[in-house]
């Protein structure tokens, strides 16, 4: 028996196990504590599935890091900015518009 995460007693007993069904990627297990009645559900996946999951987490973290890259403060930092304004012809360009502009590029980006 496993240790109950709620009361700490080694009294967590498996009460149900559903094998992997179509559309469900893992075996489902249900445990209940004989001491306090706490119940929990866990899913068992293969090592290959775990690696795929870890790869997805890494990809998600990379996307989040990319999305959090500091945005420019001003259109004047953009390579498309000229002394006549935005060379891409965006009439709303200027100042803080750079934060929302999908065409913004600078030397370091
Ligand atoms: Zn318990």
pTM equals 0.47
**What is the mean pLDDT of the segment spanning 59-79?**
80
Instruction: Kindly state whether residues 17 and 56 are assigned to the same domain.
Output: yes
- Alpha carbon of 44 to ligand 1 centroid (Å): 21
Sign of the C-alpha dihedral computed for residues 29, 32, 33 and 36 taken in this order: positive
Asked whether the predicted pLDDT for residue 57 surpasses 60, the reply is yes
The angle subtended at Cα 64 by Cα 97 and Cα 23, nearest 5°, is 130
- Alpha carbon of 31 to ligand 1 centroid (Å): 10
Asked whether the predicted pLDDT for residue 71 surpasses 70, the reply is no
- Alpha carbon of 49 to ligand 1 centroid (Å): 30
Task: Give the domain extent around 91.
Answer: 70-109
- Alpha carbon of 8 to ligand 1 centroid (Å): 6
Domain tally, the chain:
2
- Alpha carbon of 10 to ligand 1 centroid (Å): 8
Phi and psi of 77, rounded to 5°?
Answer: -85, -5
- Alpha carbon of 30 to ligand 1 centroid (Å): 14
Give the position of tokens 């420019």.
Answer: 72
Instruction: Kindly state whether residues 20 and 48 are assigned to the same domain.
Output: yes
pLDDT for the residue numbered 77 = 86
CB neighbourhood size of 33 (10 A)? 22
Residue 6 falls within a domain, yes or no? no
From CA 73, how far away is CA 83, in angstroms rounded?
17
Instruction: Kindly state whether residues 53 and 98 are assigned to the same domain.
Output: no
pLDDT for the residue numbered 70 = 65
From CA 52, how far away is CA 18, in angstroms rounded?
22
Instruction: Kindly state whether residues 51 and 97 are assigned to the same domain.
Output: no
Q: What are the tens digits of pLDDT across the range 12-37? A: 999 998 887 777 678 889 999 999 99
pLDDT for the residue numbered 106 = 82
Instruction: Kindly state whether residues 61 and 79 are assigned to the same domain.
Output: no
Residue 2 falls within a domain, yes or no? no
- Alpha carbon of 14 to ligand 1 centroid (Å): 13
């Amino acid at each position: 028996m496993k240790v109950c995460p709620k009361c700490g007693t080694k009294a967590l007993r498996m009460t149900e196990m559903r094998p992997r069904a179509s559309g469900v990627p893992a075996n489902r297990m249900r445990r209940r504590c004989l001491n306090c009645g706490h119940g929990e559900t866990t899913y068992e996946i293969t090592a290959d599935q775990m690696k795929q999951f870890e790869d997805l987490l890494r990809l998600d973290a990379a996307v989040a890091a990319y999305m959090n890259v500091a945005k420019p403060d001003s259109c004047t930092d953009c390579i498309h900015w000229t002394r006549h304004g935005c060379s891409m012809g965006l009439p709303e360009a200027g100042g803080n518009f750079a934060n929302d502009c999908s065409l913004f590029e600078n030397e370091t980006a």
